[in-house]
Amino acid sequence: MKGQSGASDDQKRIAMLVSELIRLSERRYEPCCSDFLSESEQALARRELDFSGHTDYRFFGGYENAQRTVLCVYPPYEEPADEDFPFTAVNLSFRKTAELTHRDFLGSLMGLGIKRESVGDIVIGKGVATFFVKKELASYVSSQLEKVGREGVKLADKGVDFASVTQQFEEFSRTVTSLRLDAVVGECTGLSRAKAQQAVKSGMTAVNALIADAPDRRINDGDKISVRGFGKFIIKTDGSLSKKGKIRITVFKYL
């Protein structure tokens, strides 16, 4: 695995995780899986997998485009399957008029002593919610989780229709003098150029889920930028210029 003296604790932890999963899958000749990983952890893991040259792996979170996923590393020539992943879905129902949030569900799960890495995505619909949890915890959670926030909940046969789950965005247009990270961050957040540059230098920003602390980093079409305290954005640009010679960008802010 990659050896970088200046690597962050997260980088070192993920490098060790990937190395161990590869070692175990090759020794046992069976799929070996991680806990749930955040988007930044997934990006670090992909980088380590690319560096190792190991190509037999899959990230999966229970449905297409899940944000939190589990990494499963396979021995050579084994075909990946959903059943390999050590988690299951829990479906809950509640009053359709109740306005429960992701934070409500996560807080209730944490209140049961469940660690964050044991929980995947939490998807909430009208009167129903589905979340993913490690299989060995499913029975405990199902029997103990009776309230979320102040709202009573109960197990349901059906959960959220994931085919109807779409990410909502706020769309707006801006112009920038250049596609430098600090310039784009300033336009996305409304921060001054100096404050945007400081936000980047202090490690508050990430590009495509990896921390980016170089203000002059170039942003490309389709890059995802997250700024701590301000949210996450997708940047679209075809390089066209305004009448004043600035670069036009379209910003999609995650809601």
> Would you say residue 2 lies in a domain?
no
Q: How many domains does the chain have?
A: 3
Q: Are 157 and 91 contained in the same domain? A: yes
Q: Please report, for the domain that includes residue 98, its CATH number.
A: 3.30.70.330
DSSP-based three-state secondary structure for 167: coil
pLDDT the model gives residue 163: 82
Among the candidates 99, 130, 162, a domain finishes at 162
**pLDDT string in tens for the chain (255-residue length):** 444 445 688 999 999 999 999 999 999 999 999 999 999 999 999 999 999 999 999 999 999 999 999 999 999 889 999 999 999 999 999 999 999 999 999 999 999 999 999 999 999 999 999 999 999 999 999 999 999 999 999 999 999 998 877 788 999 999 999 999 999 999 999 999 999 999 999 999 999 999 999 999 999 999 999 999 999 999 999 999 999 999 999 999 998
Q: Which residues contact 200 (CB under 8 A, 6 or more apart)?
A: 181, 182, 185, 212, 213, 214, 215
Q: Are 173 and 250 contained in the same domain? A: yes
> Would you say residue 36 lies in a domain?
yes
CB 69 within 8 A of CB 36: yes
> Would you say residue 217 lies in a domain?
yes
Q: Which residues contact 9 (CB under 8 A, 6 or more apart)?
A: none
Q: Please report, for the domain that includes residue 224, its CATH number.
A: 3.10.290.10
pLDDT the model gives residue 165: 77
pLDDT the model gives residue 4: 47
Domain that holds residue 237: 169-254
Q: Are 149 and 94 contained in the same domain? A: yes
Q: What is the pTM of this model?
A: 0.85
> Would you say residue 3 lies in a domain?
no
Q: Are 112 and 151 contained in the same domain? A: yes
pLDDT the model gives residue 12: 95
Among the candidates 51, 84, 117, a domain finishes at 84
pLDDT the model gives residue 6: 55
Q: Are 197 and 143 contained in the same domain? A: no
pLDDT the model gives residue 8: 84
